[in-house]
Amino acid sequence: MTAPAAAPLSDKTASRVASVEELRIHFDTKAGRLHAVDGVSFDIFDGESLGLVGETGCGKSVTARSFLRLIPVPPGTYAGGRIHFWSKEARQTGGSPVDLLQVPASQMRDIRGNRIAMIFQDPGKALNPALSIREQVAEVFYQHRSEDLLDGWNGTPPRPIRRAAGQRSGKLEWLAFKVPPLRSPARRLRKRVDDLVGDALAETQIPNPRKIMTSYPHELSGGMKQRVMIAQALACNPDLLIADEPTTALDVTIQARIMELIRELQLRHQTSVLYISHDLSLVRRICDRIAVMYAGRIAEIGQTRHVFHDPLHPYTRGLLAAIPSLAHQRGELAVIDGTVPELIDPQPACRFHTRCSYATDLCGRLDPPLVARPGLRPVACHGYASPDELGVAADQLPRLDRDAP
Amino acid sequence: MTNLRDDPVGAATRAEERPVITLRGVKKYFPVREGVLQQIVGHVRAVDGVSFEIRQGQTLGLVGESGCGKTTLGRCIAGLTDTTGGGIYFRLSEADRMFLDEMDAVGQDRQTSEQQAKVESIERAHRIDRLKGETWRTYRRNCQFVFQDAFSSLNPRHLVKDIVGRPLRVYKEASGTDLTERVVELLESVGLGRQHLYRYPHQFSGGQRQRISIARALALDPEFIVLDEPTSALDVSVQSQILNLLHKLQQDRGLTYLFITHDLGVVRLMSDEIVVMYVGEVMERAGAQELFASPRHPYTEALLAANPDLLEGDEEAEMRGLEGTVPDPARPPRGCKFHTRCPVATPRCGWEVDDAVAWLSDNSTILEGLGGVERSSDFESVLRFAEPGTAAEAESLLASAAIPDAMRAALVELDQDGPELRIRFEEVDRVRLEDVDVGHMTSCILHTSQADLDSRP
Ligand SMILES: Nc1ncnc2c1ncn2[C@@H]1O[C@H](COP(=O)(O)OP(=O)(O)O)[C@@H](O)[C@H]1O
Ligand SMILES: Nc1ncnc2c1ncn2[C@@H]1O[C@H](COP(=O)(O)OP(=O)(O)O)[C@@H](O)[C@H]1O
Ligand code: SF4
Ligand code: SF4
Ligand SMILES: [Mg+2]
Ligand SMILES: [Mg+2]
């Protein structure tokens, strides 16, 4: 789908939802310290959809999970950096952000699902097989929107009902809901929950939401389960939605429907989205900007259109040329020679230098920083540096032909 | 004709066009069992009457969404599983195929004994489930299979040397140092080398493991390889290496491929001809360029719309998906199997009782009130409700604009009587593949002559 111009893009004054700075996540493995994410920085602007793309193992999911501190520690370590996050209030009042890596656990619980929601590749695994769809979606309302559950009550609802809305009822209270005087308010609460769950499901264009509510995950197709996940994720109107390969397990025709849906909902609710995928052609259809990741680092970042038409980083160029397209002849797909480097205790060098056809001596001993130079969007490659910047002779720099990607 | 090795009829057509594999109405059903006694309660029609040929030196791309029967069909062709109906033939000449088709049309009862004898001799020589002894061995070694998941198809406890060398040992082609040298040659042909002989599969990356699988498939110098999603588990930069390798091997060795994939970009690049499958049936079949340039089936169009990168002028093209879900292959839709999701379906596309019930159950009052469905056929039934009021509600829903126009037009009887609602749809035949152009077939009635659409209300 062509991305409607919805978001304030690289405009410096546009407010940010999140800002990742020099994020480092390492894992202790038998072979040594694995630098899964090694100095990653990017911003997510208010209302935009940012695509994070790269091949398997480059660190996309680890980056995404660290927003919610879902990295298992140990073997993982948050080895450095910050993830600043501005809630709606902070953005409106010009307040200061919180660092998601530092906030106390209690505050993190509130942020999870309420401010930042995440959907995963495999909806089958993320849903509880033993609970009906109604119960699973209702959970979100009980946990994060118990105030809404009590909306429209004349006066204060009875205390046990207030406790029920916050899922704090004891066993005895549950029994009390079966008899007067609490039976009718309990029914009313239940109806309110049903309505909210039904509406949330309807918004994802699930046919017959009331019927789906009574089903269990195994009775639903993959596309339906992913819609349930989306309904759950969007139920609390989060500030940021992180979608980690949400359609990779689905068929193409269904995948296209789910992508349209995420885009529609994003525009309607003005939600910011971090969309993760290994599939560049998909991301291209729904993201305003794209960050290309390679071996734990960001290679380049920019507006989708620019990245596709004028890829700067040699890795991005290789990746785009390797996708079978109308222009290709059989047997003549571009290949990127070699394999992804070991992420164990990496040397200070460009992560791509073993595979890059432009690499020079310099690339093997100096890691290129991700910097925006005058007239260029941010790219991590020495080929765009000036001799002064690095203090080397011009012939030591890689020669990147900008017109022939 | 009885000797597989030098089929004289093959010379009559151009050598590169000689069919290597011919499918005639192939079916593969899996029983669905239920209950403690594990009784058979139905069948999953994974492959439901598929016919096409794969020609010498060419790549036939088989594309469709997951569950449509691609792997099952590939396994049938490679002889890894038996078929339920129809026939798969190895090196069947065009003339013999036409003869068999003719004889099917005549019917067995009315064939002369001479004709019956000829049918019998063709089948014995070419039909893979009738092959015996040497001809069976010839077919087996000439027909190899590469699996999607190279990890689970390679024995983790075997060395690469044994994995790749095994077919050579089994067929007593080589042993000792000769075997080792043959394995080295094979590894080199897929971009690996002698240094990899004494390693285990887990020591390789995904792309390298797929190279090992390919080397193993090449060991007996086959004529034909079934490639089942050979790159679906790989990243694009690795995929491009494997696709280039497969092309080079085809050029060097004159291989014939059945290339199975759900990726339209890959199938377009790799195939000479493409077959589009949906719920066990062929929807469309055409040359690769032709299929993308002028698709003649709404399902193919839907697949293309979901991959706008593959359309000319893709920049502004919108990515569009399809509503609904893939039907249950144990109870496939009547008429055209795509009618439940087709955006341009007509009244003649196979509307049936199940479609009416599906629409009615979108309404929770009606769903709860529906007591039973008594069918006299897939097209005709009595719906029984608890209350006459609900039956009336169901009737007005089925007559309303909430229901697709095409479905309403196909509803020839809609009659409420108390708590009962009689419905009857016009009965239609199963759609057939028809030629619409040279080498281009489709089963969509909008593009063929199988339904007289103008005679409809
Ligand atoms: N729990 C873990 N323990 C050890 N290594 C891990 C763990 N999780 C991820 N990794 C490693 O971190 C790297 C990045 O992984 P990931 O972010 O999942 O990649 P992707 O880009 O495919 O999502 C990989 O090399 C992976 O093996
Ligand atoms: N061994 C089996 N037993 C029962 N059903 C099967 C078996 N193998 C495949 N099927 C069913 O047959 C249909 C086609 O499957 P498959 O050939 O694997 O499709 P594809 O390769 O196109 O994804 C599916 O509905 C699948 O569930
Ligand atoms: S810094 Fe050097 S090795 Fe790295 S991408 Fe640029 S030219 Fe290639
Ligand atoms: S026959 Fe053609 S128009 Fe009718 S449902 Fe099938 S694809 Fe659609
Ligand atoms: Mg991942
Ligand atoms: Mg398959």
The answer to whether B338 and B283 are in contact (CB under 8 A) is: yes
Token pair, residue A193, equals: 């929950």
Ligand 1 atom at minimum distance from A245 CA: 23
Q: Fill in the DSSP letter of residue B350.
A: -
Nearest ligand to the CA of B72 is 2
> Side chain identity at B354, as an amino acid letter?
D
pLDDT at A6 over 60: no
Nearest residue, CB atoms, A253 vs list B248, B303, B317: B303
Q: Considering only A151-165, A217-231, B108-122, B373-387, which range has the smallest mean pLDDT?
A: A151-165
pLDDT of residue A182: 76
Angle of CA points A340, A125, A65, to nearest 5°: 50
**Nearest-neighbour CA in chain B from A390: distance (Å):** 31
C-alpha of A59 from chain center: 12
pLDDT of residue B316: 64
Average pLDDT in chain B: 89
Asked casually if ipTM beats, i.e. exceeds, 0.90, the reply is no
Q: Considering only A15-19, A126-130, A132-136, A169-173, which range has the smallest mean pLDDT?
A: A169-173
pLDDT of residue B253: 94
Q: For residue A242, give the nearest of A204, A290, A276 by alpha carbon.
A: A276
Range A20-38 average pLDDT: 95
Q: Considering only A330-334, A343-347, A401-405, which range has the smallest mean pLDDT?
A: A401-405
Residue B177 contacts A where some CB pair is shorter than 8 Å = no
Range A94-113 average pLDDT: 90
Q: Do B244 and A333 touch (CB under 8 A)?
A: yes
Range A326-337 average pLDDT: 85
Q: Could you tell me which chain A residue has the CA closest to the CA of B241?
A: A335
pLDDT of residue B313: 63
Q: How far is residue B170 from each of residues A336, B201, B214, B385, measured CA to CA in Å? A: 37, 21, 18, 65
| Model confidence pLDDT, tens digit, residues B271-293 | 999 999 999 999 999 999 999 99
| Model confidence pLDDT, tens digit, residues A376-403 | 999 999 999 988 888 888 888 888 765 4
pLDDT of residue A189: 80
Q: For residue A184, give the nearest of A193, A176, A195 by alpha carbon.
A: A176
Q: Which residue's C-alpha comes closest to atom 6 of ligand 4?
A: B336
A166 vs B379 pLDDT, higher one: B379
Residues 6+ apart with CB under 8 A from B89: B21, B22, B23, B24, B97, B126, B127, B128
Range A304-321 average pLDDT: 93
- Of all residues in chain B, the percent with pLDDT exceeding 90 is 73
Nearest residue, CB atoms, B265 vs list A2, A323, A339: A323
Q: Considering only A39-43, A300-304, A335-339, B132-136, which range has the smallest mean pLDDT?
A: A335-339
A331 vs B89 pLDDT, higher one: B89
pLDDT of residue B2: 39
Q: Do A281 and B306 touch (CB under 8 A)?
A: no
Neighboring chain B residues of A258 at a CB cutoff of 8 Å: 321
Q: Considering only A180-184, A300-304, B348-352, which range has the smallest mean pLDDT?
A: A180-184
Q: For residue B258, give the nearest of B70, B438, B91, B130 by alpha carbon.
A: B70
State the distance from the centre of ligand 5 to the C-alpha of A57, rounded, in angstroms. 7
Q: Best mutation site among A24, A26, A27 for ligand 1, i.e. most ligand atoms within 8 A of its Cβ?
A: A27
Q: Can you tell me the distance from the alpha carbon of B137 to that of A161, in angstroms, rounded to the nearest whole number?
A: 75
Residue B13: band (very low, low, confident or very high) from pLDDT cuts 50, 70, 90: very low
Range B212-231 average pLDDT: 95
Average pLDDT in chain A: 86
Pick the CATH number of B4-157+200-278 from 2.60.120.260, 3.40.50.10090, 2.160.10.10, 3.40.50.300: 3.40.50.300
* Coil, strand or helix at B191: coil
| Model confidence pLDDT, tens digit, residues A190-205 | 888 888 898 888 888 8
Neighboring chain B residues of A284 at a CB cutoff of 8 Å: 309
Residues 6+ apart with CB under 8 A from A40: A20, A22, A23, A24, A59, A63, A81, A293, A296, A297, A298
State phi, psi for A107 to the nearest 5 degrees. Answer: -70, -35
pLDDT at A4 over 70: no
Residue of B235, B249, B326 to mutate, interface with A, max A Cβ within 10 Å: B235
| Model confidence pLDDT, tens digit, residues B265-274 | 999 999 999 9
pLDDT at A307 over 50: yes
pLDDT at B15 over 50: no
Residues 6+ apart with CB under 8 A from B1: B7, B8, B9, B96, B121, B122, B125
| Model confidence pLDDT, tens digit, residues A47-69 | 999 999 999 899 999 999 999 99
| Model confidence pLDDT, tens digit, residues A74-93 | 999 999 999 999 988 888 88
Residue A281 contacts B where some CB pair is shorter than 8 Å = yes
The answer to whether B216 and B164 are in contact (CB under 8 A) is: yes
The answer to whether B23 and B53 are in contact (CB under 8 A) is: yes
pLDDT of residue B145: 94
Residues 208-247 of B with CB under 8 A from A: 235-237, 239-241, 243-244, 247
Token pair, residue B340, equals: 């439940």
Q: Can you tell me the distance from the alpha carbon of A55 to that of A38, in angstroms, rounded to the nearest whole number?
A: 16
Q: Best mutation site among A292, A350, A360, A402 for ligand 3, i.e. most ligand atoms within 8 A of its Cβ?
A: A350
pTM value is 0.88
Q: Can you tell me the distance from the alpha carbon of B457 to that of B453, in angstroms, rounded to the nearest whole number?
A: 9
pLDDT at B305 over 70: yes
Range B191-217 average pLDDT: 92
pLDDT of residue A8: 41
Nearest ligand to the CA of A357 is 3
Q: Which residue's C-alpha comes closest to atom 1 of ligand 3?
A: A381
The answer to whether A272 and A239 are in contact (CB under 8 A) is: yes
The answer to whether A179 and A168 are in contact (CB under 8 A) is: no
pLDDT at B319 over 80: no
Range A310-333 average pLDDT: 90
Q: For residue B364, give the nearest of A62, A79, A198, A38 by alpha carbon.
A: A198
Three-class HEC string of B129-162: HHCCHHHHHHHHHHEEEECCCHHHHCCCCCCHHH
Q: For residue B48, give the nearest of B277, B274, B267, B226 by alpha carbon.
A: B277
Residue B45: how many CA atoms within 13 Å on its side-chain side?
21
Residues β-bridged to residue B291: none
| Model confidence pLDDT, tens digit, residues B126-180 | 999 999 999 999 999 999 999 887 778 899 999 999 999 999 999 988 888 999 9
Q: How many residues does chain A have?
A: 405
pLDDT at A303 over 90: yes
**Nearest-neighbour CA in chain A from B142: distance (Å):** 24
pLDDT at A255 over 90: no
Range B4-9 average pLDDT: 40
pLDDT of residue A204: 82
Neighboring chain B residues of A208 at a CB cutoff of 8 Å: 361-364, 367
Q: Do A253 and B322 touch (CB under 8 A)?
A: yes
Q: Can you tell me the distance from the alpha carbon of A356 to that of A319, in angstroms, rounded to the nearest whole number?
A: 12
Range A226-242 average pLDDT: 88
Token pair, residue B420, equals: 């009962």
The answer to whether B345 and A270 are in contact (CB under 8 A) is: no
Nearest residue, CB atoms, A256 vs list B243, B270, B306: B306
A182 vs A376 pLDDT, higher one: A376
B246-255 long-range contacts, Cβ below 8 Å, gap at least 24?
A: B246/B214, B246/B270, B247/A330, B247/A331, B248/A331, B249/B189, B249/B190, B249/B214, B249/B218, B250/B57, B250/B59, B251/A331, B252/B189, B253/B218, B253/B221, B254/B56, B254/B57, B254/B223, B255/B57, B255/B222, B255/B223, B255/B224, B255/B225
Range B108-135 average pLDDT: 93
| Model confidence pLDDT, tens digit, residues B21-66 | 999 999 999 998 888 888 888 999 999 999 999 999 999 999 998 8
The answer to whether B293 and B301 are in contact (CB under 8 A) is: no
Q: Do A322 and B270 touch (CB under 8 A)?
A: no
